[in-house]
Structure 1
Amino acid sequence: MTQLSVKPRKEPLLVRMKRFSAFYLFLLIPLAQVIIFNYMPMYGIQIAFKDYKMRRGINGSSWAGLEHFQKMFSDTTFYQVLGNTLRLSLESTLIIFPATVIFALMMNELRAGKFKRVTQTITYLPHFLSWVVVGGFVTQVLSPTNGVLNFLLVKLGILDQPVYFMIEPSAFDAIYILSSMWKELGWGVIIYLATISGIDPTLYEAASIDGAGRFKKVRHITFPSILPTVTTMLILQMGTIMSVGFDPIFNLYTPGTYSTADVISTYVYRRGLLDTKYDYTTAIGLFQNVVSLTLVLLSNWIARKATPDYRIF
């Protein structure tokens, strides 16, 4: 006799909301934040297509069509900051991203519990420092008058005289990458350590019985287990290729390093807030966000074609 399975009836949304009202109340604050700071500002996108005047407002300003986009693509300074943005983003992706994964694997292999906790604490703490503090610290370390780095390089005979690294365009990439890595590396490993903690311990026990060492366990068990997480984080990282953080650049660059350090976010800050070119900078921001969204969708499509389980949507 064929046994028929009965699909349980799904509760109406209002009933579920009443039953779990406490949990839904917790969602109100983040939901309001997303609506206020993410969705409501979308109304201002039309500024990119208008000759915006503050006294007339958004609705009262006349339409300019694609004038600001034409100006953007004919602006040599825009191409310079676009190149700087892409260069610094790619360097971060190629250096900091794999360094975070490697550091997480190394942290997992530490057996001394106390030493591991101390190491985690030391590497996590810089994340909670403001970039204003980090920028001041880096400036002091690289100072030509009382900086530790110049003192050591001169004493070791590597330099004949102190160098003001903060105004050297060629030195900015290294300053940005190293300071960003020092600040965020420890914080970035948290999600990978959380994933590693969910790996079945019997896999390691079976590997030990088969004579596998630490390196083989990492290669054949740990890394494949966190690969979906790594892929997801890489896809999300691709969405930031066009948006190097404003805070680190603003607190590390100087007028002497504009040629290599000026990125889209700092350029928009100067042209938009200081020069009051709101319509032009809105066009730049719209272009930046459209490209970022395209990169995320493209990365997810590639991941889906390669391995369907590694996609994020």
Structure 2
Amino acid sequence: MATILQVPAPQTDHTEALTVPRSRRASGFRVHVSRFKWLYLLLLPGLIYFAVFRYAPMFGAVIAFKDFVPFLGIWDSPWVGGAHFVDFFQSPDFPRLLANTLILALLNLTIAFPLTIVIALLLNELRLNLLKRTVQTLIYVPHFLSWTVVASLTYLLFALDTGPLFHFINGILGTDIDFLASADWFRPIIVLQEIWKNTGWGTIIFLAALASVDQEQYEAAIIDGAGRFRRVWHITLPSIRPTIVVMLILQMGQILNTGFEQIYLMTNSLNREVADVFDTFVYFMGITQGSYSYSTAVGLFKAVIGVVLIFGANWLSRRFNQEGIF
């Protein structure tokens, strides 16, 4: 019986086979850019905007570690290290600013954000296209109004003695509350403004996610006898869960950004104790008092916390087997 000799196959380096020459990669990139040149041209203004107005000013954040003097410039101003951060953390304003900012952020996160999802679900259940488009238009329009207009409408509605909502609410409660000057009513008014202005606009993303839900799942659920609520709970919400998680992560990054214009326009001497937040504090210290380094340190602290919250929320999302943003 003949013996069959097995010659071992020559060893090949798979890394060499997978390695693409640099010249070929460069050629492929040029072909890709040439193929989609008009899309890249449309992208160019956005890139320029972020480069000029978002990333370039970040180099000036170094004044947070200096005693900035405008006549000396950024680089010639004396270095003080973390002195401004220490002064801010030890100041009596820090606990108050942190509490006011977090309370407003948590109210928006627990009320306005879920309400966006609820409105998207309700709009998705509408079957009359004319009614659906009309409601969408009505709730989208406030987003395009400036905060100056929103604040002006609020002052007209809640104005002392002349505001219709002032008389309506006080007539029901049997009180005589000046809502615009009351510290207890400042946060509810801010949350109501946020809901009225931005909730409708935020539903766009969730409506887009709802449009991608497989309709065959609904048909199978209907055959099995599932009602509308069970279809929403067991099909709709699980299908848009990745979108909800991503939006929640992005919302966490903005938790300390309560909105300067809105807070500034609604602040007065009677509600300032609960109205002062990090954004308005940076404005007053930097613009009105000229403490550029101190206000930059406060803004840098807020930005760092936002980055930490984004990475932390993304890590938690991954830990619970959910999709993150990276």
Structure 1 length as normaliser, TM-score? 0.93
1:250 corresponds in structure 2 to 264
The one-letter code matched in structure 2 to 1:180 is E
Identity within the alignment, %: 41
* 1:119-171 Cα distance to aligned partner (Å, 9 max, x none): 11111111111100000101111111211122223444x2243x221111111
Task: Tell me which of 256, 261, 276 is aligned to 1:262.
Answer: 276
1:280 Cα deviation from its structure 2 partner: 0.1
The one-letter code matched in structure 2 to 1:233 is M
Q: Using the alignment, how far apart are the partners of 2:69 and 2:228 within structure 1? A: 64
Q: Structure 1 pair 275/132, CA: closer, same or farther in 2 (3 Å)?
A: same
Larger Rg: 2
Q: Structure 1 pair 76/151, CA: closer, same or farther in 2 (3 Å)?
A: same
Q: Using the alignment, how far apart are the partners of 1:16 and 1:112 within structure 2? A: 44
Match runs of 1:30-41 below 5 Å:
30-41=46-57
Moved more, 104-113 or 229-238: 104-113
The one-letter code matched in structure 2 to 1:175 is I
Task: Tell me which of 201, 221, 236 is aligned to 1:222.
Answer: 236
1:294 Cα deviation from its structure 2 partner: 0.4
Q: Per the alignment, in what secondary structure is the counterpart of residue 153 of structure 2? A: helix
Q: Per the alignment, in what secondary structure is the counterpart of residue 140 of structure 1? A: helix
**Is there any run of 5+ residues in structure 1 with no aligned partner, and where?**
1-5
Q: Could you list the runs of 4 or more consecutive aligned residues of structure 1 that deviate by over 2 angstroms after TM superposition?
A: 6-12, 153-156, 158-161
1:77 Cα deviation from its structure 2 partner: 1.3
1:3 corresponds in structure 2 to none
* 1:80-117 Cα distance to aligned partner (Å, 9 max, x none): 11211111001110111111111111111112222211
1:287 Cα deviation from its structure 2 partner: 0.7
* Aligned-CA RMSD value: 1.6
Q: Using the alignment, how far apart are the partners of 1:62 and 1:143 within structure 2? A: 50
1:93 corresponds in structure 2 to 109
Match runs of 1:157-236 below 5 Å:
158-161=173-176, 163-236=177-250
The answer on whether the counterparts of 2:101 and 2:258 sit within 8 Å (CA) in structure 1 is: yes
1:14 Cα deviation from its structure 2 partner: 2.2
1:62 matched to 2:75? The reply is no
Q: Per the alignment, in what secondary structure is the counterpart of residue 270 of structure 1? A: helix
Structure 2 length as normaliser, TM-score? 0.90
The one-letter code matched in structure 2 to 1:112 is L
1:77 corresponds in structure 2 to 93
The answer on whether the counterparts of 2:166 and 2:179 sit within 8 Å (CA) in structure 1 is: no
